[in-house]
Amino acid sequence: MNAEEIIKLKKNALYTSLESKNLFSKFFNKSMLHNAVIMEVFFKNNFDGISYEKLCNNIPKVLGSRSSIQNLLNEGLDKKILKKIESQKDKRIKNYYLSDESSNLLIEWVKKQKNIFNH
């Protein structure tokens, strides 16, 4: 598969996801900041989650401000894409996780990406 075909597949997948009724897919592809937050949360999902402060430190400032990240997290919580749980290590900290369904959907997305780039 050449570069044009891969770009066409990626482009079509992105546009389709934004028009989809699948809330996770629409949320994940809404912006680069949404994409980055979901990947950061997923990376820590099987550990103790990730705090707001760690998210803000990990995500490059050019992608979004602290307030943009906070608004995005609140949106994700409202849509049940994310969940917020008190840290087991420090009760003052609330950590973010992907919901089980969102985590599974992200794994499916990764599989589709592998399939596109392995052709």
Instruction: Say if residue 114's pLDDT is above 90.
Output: no
The hierarchical CATH code for the domain 3-118 is 1.10.10.10
Q: Which of 82-86, 87-91, 111-115 has the lowest mean pLDDT?
A: 111-115
Task: Look at the alpha carbons of 85, 109, 8, 40 in this order and tell me if their dihedral is positive or negative.
Answer: positive
Residue 20 has pLDDT above 80, yes or no: no
- pLDDT tens-digit map of 26-82: 999 899 999 999 999 999 988 889 999 999 999 999 999 999 999 999 999 999 999
For residues 84 and 99, give the distance between their C-alpha atoms in angstroms, rounded to a whole number. Answer: 10
pLDDT reported for residue 16: 79
Q: What is the pLDDT of residue 119?
A: 63
Q: Which of 48, 20, 33 is closest to 105 using CA atoms? A: 20
pTM of the model: 0.86
| Domain range annotation of the chain | 3-118
pLDDT at 116 over 80: no
Give the C-alpha separation, 113 to 95, whole Å: 28
